[in-house]
Amino acid sequence: MKARMMQPSTIAVYDAGMEHPAALPIEQLLRDCNVTRTRRSGPGGQHRNKVATAIVITHEPSGIVAEASERRSQTQNHAEAVFRLRVELALQLRCPSESVSPMWTSRVRDGRISLNSSHADYPAMLAEALDTIQAHHADVKAAAERLNVSPTQLIKLLKTHPRAIEQINADRKRLGLHALQ
């Protein structure tokens, strides 16, 4: 899994009220991206290097890059690179919002988040969770209340991606709060 960050531990903030790039429909997101097809070395035998199946996607406004080259299929690599880009955008960009998105509401049932980390909605949900936690100054309980889930459910979502929980714990440490377990 490869994705390059624009700068280590730098979180960019988009304008308030703007939809998070990780939540945009793929076609709309790709309008702001440069997609490059290339060859990559590695396992895969004689078929791997005959065509340019590796995909590198750069989100031009942020400089965030994601790539995929594991498959021999350019279509599968493209889908994986888009997913990785959306996850990187979720981790690296903050878009403060005053309201909970309809997608978030549709994914919450009885205070529980119904989502798999490989689902197409995962990057947008992760972005919304991180945005809300940041808006509440790393107070997970307040953010969970705002998102209509339990703090345990919110932490469980963050733990699906190690860098997400690391970011929150770094913010909490900076603010003098204890780390989440």
The 10s digit of each residue's pLDDT in 68-113 is 988 888 899 999 999 999 999 999 999 888 889 999 999 999 989 9
Token digits of residue 166: 């690391």
Domain 2-94 has CATH 3.40.50.2000: no
Contacts of 67 (CB under 8 A, 6+ apart): 2, 3, 54, 55, 56, 57, 81, 84
The model's pLDDT over 47-72, given as tens digits with 9 standing for 90+, comes to 555 667 889 999 999 999 999 988 88
The domain limits of the chain are 2-94, 102-174
pLDDT category at 14 given cuts 50, 70, 90 is low
State mean pLDDT over 173-179. 93
The confidence band for 181, taking pLDDT boundaries of 50, 70 and 90, is confident
